Structure 1
Amino acid sequence: MAQEILINVTPRETRVALVENGVLQELHLERARRRGLVGNLYKGRVVRVLPGMQAAFIEAGLERTAFLHASDIARAEPAPVGDEPNGRPPPLPIDELLTEGQEVVVQVLKDPIGSKGARLTTHITIPSRYLVLAPGSRALGVSARVEDPAERERLRAIGESLLADRGDMGIIVRTAAEQVAEEALRADFDFLLRLWQSISERAAHASAGQRVHEDLPLTVRAMRDLAGSEVERVRVDSRENYLNVVSFCRRFLPEMAPRVEYYPGERPLFDLYNIEDEILRALNRRVPLKSGGHLVIDQTEAMTTVDVNTGAYVGHRTLEETIFKTNLEAAQAIARQLRLRNLGGIIIVDFIDMVEEEHKRQVLRALEKALQKDHAKTQISGVSALGLVEMTRKRTRESLEHQLCESCPTCGGRGSVKSAETVSYEIFREILREARQFESRRLVVLAATEVVDLLLEDESTSLAQLEEFIGRPIELQAESLYTQEQFDVVLM
């Protein structure tokens, strides 16, 4: 499984692509005007406490007030020690935890998405290459992706030795720590302690609304989070960023430093790997499958739906075999599309209906196996009574579509506009309404070219009858700047 990381830098935008066997798997981008906030720490002030929602709104110097739920507020009780440090005591009522005007250090858990403000937490975590420091917690966790029991036990023992005599600290051992020497883990831990000390000092002197810590820039963050033993090469097309990446690798990832290359070629780096074409395809609703079938992906505010269709694929044996093969191929494609498009929240997959239970189990296993490569946490709840696969994927940043696109000004994001015929009948009703209320010598209709053409051709008889009914002439004027739904009826 050969992987490459491609880093494309322009003055206002940085893009990082993870390519596996020549196929784009993940795309991360960061723009100077709107950098991601996840991981940043702020000194915030409580502006409103909402007992009915068990939440508070925090002014942290962001564009909108941010949201802090009671379950995301750290308390003095220690979290239990276990493989997954998510077990927390039940939250107290929000008005017992916070008061309006109180200042609190918070970390961004989720970027602002759509009309929603950022989601915050006071469970602070500071990640590095091998470990995640959790100040104020007593948890010790090992990534679930480390599957070897002996290696899990070794990492747990190292973690316990690191936390000895540090009752106010917790750590999570990341997947990247697998087979890493204890000395490297101890150096990582010492670095995190120094970083936290620096953050604590800044937070103590900061005023409300100030940022006290910013996560690493995307070029370096990608090396921290994506670079692993499977990555054979990292190519950077900016000399300055290449030097920064090499410097970071020499300090924290010495084994990766020789694999980092500067790409000075005249042909753009992403064009070399056809990444630009892949990005365009990732913005389409329809995703073709090699067999001839296709997926249809629709993203809404509540959830994302994925519909699987056989399309042109007719198979060679039985209908059940054709459906089974299409669903197996779709499972692989869906896992890739979720990563590539960064789709999160509730996801409903409508596979083609299968009769045999064994086929259903195999398709579900194929989807689970394909999702194991995903860095974001996913959870499949199985097949519903309606035959739909329900799953969730952790969402911290906006999807690729929301980052690169905006709602269509013509349809307002609906994905459709009223037909010219519908608009023409609306014009007829408006003419009747205006003619009954106001006196005039004639009426002028301003509308889009398509609507005027329809009125002059297919609806010319209806227009003549309407003129006779109201006793006034109706003139039509095509406006090239009008959308198909826009029109005006002017009394002259």
Structure 2
Amino acid sequence: MSEEILINVTPQETRVAVVENGMVQELLIERSQSRGLVGNIYKGKVKRVLPGMQAAFVDIGLERSAFLHASEIVDHQQSDSDDGSDDINRLLHEGQEIIVQVIKDELGSKGARLTTHTTVPSRYLVLMPENSHVGVSQRIEDEQERNRLRDILNEKEQSEEGYIIRTAAEGAGENELRRDVTFLKKLWDRIQTRIKTARCPALIYEDLSIELRIVRDMVASKVEKIRIDSESMYEKTKQFVSEFVPELEPRLEVYQGGRPLFDVYNVEDEIQKALHRQVPLKSGGSLIIDQTEAMTTIDVNTGAFVGHRNLEETIFRTNLEAASALARQLRLRNLGGIIIIDFIDMKEEEHKRQVLRTLEKALEHDHAKTHITEVSTLGLVEMTRKRTRESLERVLCEICPTCYGRGSIKTAQTVCYEIFREITRAARAYEAQKLLVLASQDVVDCLLDEEASSVAELESFIKIPIRFQVETLYAQEQFDVVLM
């Protein structure tokens, strides 16, 4: 499978597209005014301790206080009490200064999620200053290779720090690992010095910018090209690559074509499609994706696809195609948390197993951790996908000011009847010579046309004349009743 990484740079934002076999699979966007916080280390101050939640809110200098659970505190031990209710009070107190690291960005109305288990990554390793354990990424499946890598670090590193050997370290030599160890130790010394001198709250360590993180974390041997459409960013990335990932230097390329880089690879179109609720399938079926605060639901529809033999075959083929398509959509839209998939009901158990296997196989390329359940008695598949940053929709869009995120608005007729009730209330509560109703064009048209007889009856009932005026800036649900 061929893979390319495209990096589009403007002063306002940097966008990264991961393209596999000519199709966009993943999109990452970082804006200069709102860079992600994951990986950043802060010197914070405990603002509030919540014993009932076994958590605390910590001021790290952001608009919203960040959230720290007791399980994320290094010195956390099970309390002597049966319910552990006094754990957090023993570990933290209000006003206490504490070193924390962001493990999850601010999402929606929720503040950033914190841990005191600080880690600092490099190309092949992750330094764990508070731990002496040496672990190996689960994605390195060869046991012999796992042991070889672990032995290199165990043999050479007789220190208090621990390390996680990353997936990228598979096949790496001893010198490469030793170089990373030296780099991480120097970096941690600088962080320690900053911790001692910084005034609270303060940013102690900031993770790399998005284009350098991609090169460090996501690039593997299968990546053929890394194309960047900015000369300055290309030079910056080239310097980083030559120092930390020299084998990638021949694959780095500055794009100087006439057309925009994302247009050439059809990325702009894919971004627009990824904001639509409906995803068409080649067979004629479709996916309907609804993202809410609590979970994401995906409904599979057959559409025009009728199959060649029977209904069961139609359903099975549609579900197979949907399984592959939705795995791509999860990556493309960066949907996380709880995900409920409503496949079309299948009668044969073997068909259910094949659809699940197809979904699992399609998710193997996903960098985010996923967990899938069996098909439930209701025909649903429940899964989780680790979420550390906002979805594409939340990054690029905001709540609709007309429907307030509901996805629908009241009909003009419904608003008319609300106006009638408001007029009745106003006429009973206040004395007025006449009433003026301000509303949108469609609502006023409805009042003067379909509901004209109702308006006449209401005027006769309240014995006050009613006048209507169109307000072009009013949304359909907005109206005012003015006493004159």
TM-score interval w.r.t. the shorter chain? Answer: over 0.9
Structure 1 position 120, deviation (Å): 0.4
Alignment of 1:84-483 (within 5 A): 93-163=87-157, 165-166=158-159, 168-483=160-475
d(CA) in 1 for partners of 2:97, 2:355: 50
1:387-417 C-alpha deviation (Å, 9 max, x unpaired): 2111111111111111110000111111111
Which residue of the partner structure matches residue 71 of structure 2?
A: 71
Unpaired runs of at least 5, structure 2? 78-83
Structure 1 position 222, deviation (Å): 1.1
Aligned pair 1:59/2:59, yes or no?
yes
1:424-456 C-alpha deviation (Å, 9 max, x unpaired): 011111111112222222221111000011111
Greater Cα shift, 376-385 or 417-426: 376-385
**Structure 1 residues 103, 416: closer, same or farther in 2, change over 3 A?**
same
- SS of the counterpart of 2:246? coil
- SS of the counterpart of 1:483? coil
Contact map agreement 2:51 2:86 (CA 8 A) in 1: no
Look up the equivalent residue of 1:75 and give its one-letter code: D
Look up the equivalent residue of 1:230 and give its one-letter code: K
**Structure 1 residues 157, 137: closer, same or farther in 2, change over 3 A?**
same
Look up the equivalent residue of 1:23 and give its one-letter code: M
- SS of the counterpart of 1:372? helix
Which residue of the partner structure matches residue 85 of structure 1?
A: none
Structure 1 position 158, deviation (Å): 2.0
Structure 1 position 382, deviation (Å): 2.3
Which residue of the partner structure matches residue 45 of structure 1?
A: 45
d(CA) in 2 for partners of 1:413, 1:335: 25
Structure 1 position 156, deviation (Å): 2.1
Structure 1 position 153, deviation (Å): 2.0
d(CA) in 2 for partners of 1:243, 1:175: 26
d(CA) in 2 for partners of 1:54, 1:139: 27
d(CA) in 1 for partners of 2:162, 2:85: 20
Structure 1 position 149, deviation (Å): 2.1
RMSD: 1.4
1:43-87 C-alpha deviation (Å, 9 max, x unpaired): 01111111111001111111111110000011288xxxxxxxxxx
Structure 1 position 266, deviation (Å): 2.7
1:347-389 C-alpha deviation (Å, 9 max, x unpaired): 1111111111111111111111111111111111322232211
**Structure 1 residues 262, 468: closer, same or farther in 2, change over 3 A?**
same
% same residue: 64
- SS of the counterpart of 1:256? helix
d(CA) in 1 for partners of 2:330, 2:7: 21
Contact map agreement 2:76 2:91 (CA 8 A) in 1: no
Contact map agreement 2:333 2:393 (CA 8 A) in 1: yes
d(CA) in 2 for partners of 1:92, 1:398: 34
Contact map agreement 1:159 1:173 (CA 8 A) in 2: no
Contact map agreement 1:42 1:105 (CA 8 A) in 2: yes
Number of aligned residues: 478
2:483 to 475, 480, 491: 491
Contact map agreement 1:70 1:92 (CA 8 A) in 2: no
Unpaired runs of at least 5, structure 1? 78-89
**Structure 1 residues 76, 200: closer, same or farther in 2, change over 3 A?**
farther
Contact map agreement 1:70 1:91 (CA 8 A) in 2: no
**Structure 1 residues 75, 162: closer, same or farther in 2, change over 3 A?**
farther
Which residue of the partner structure matches residue 80 of structure 2?
A: none
- SS of the counterpart of 2:27? strand
Greater Cα shift, 29-38 or 178-187: 178-187
d(CA) in 1 for partners of 2:456, 2:48: 62
Structure 1 position 309, deviation (Å): 0.7
Structure 1 position 92, deviation (Å): 7.8
Greater Cα shift, 429-438 or 52-61: 429-438
d(CA) in 1 for partners of 2:433, 2:93: 67
d(CA) in 1 for partners of 2:327, 2:128: 31
Look up the equivalent residue of 1:22 and give its one-letter code: G
Look up the equivalent residue of 1:58 and give its one-letter code: V
Look up the equivalent residue of 2:146 and give its one-letter code: R
Which residue of the partner structure matches residue 14 of structure 2?
A: 14
- SS of the counterpart of 1:255? helix
d(CA) in 1 for partners of 2:184, 2:308: 59
Which residue of the partner structure matches residue 24 of structure 1?
A: 24
Structure 1 position 91, deviation (Å): 11
Structure 1 position 267, deviation (Å): 1.3
Contact map agreement 2:434 2:465 (CA 8 A) in 1: yes
d(CA) in 1 for partners of 2:201, 2:372: 39
d(CA) in 2 for partners of 1:107, 1:11: 28
TM-score of the aligned structures, taking structure 1 as reference length:
0.95
Structure 1 position 138, deviation (Å): 2.2
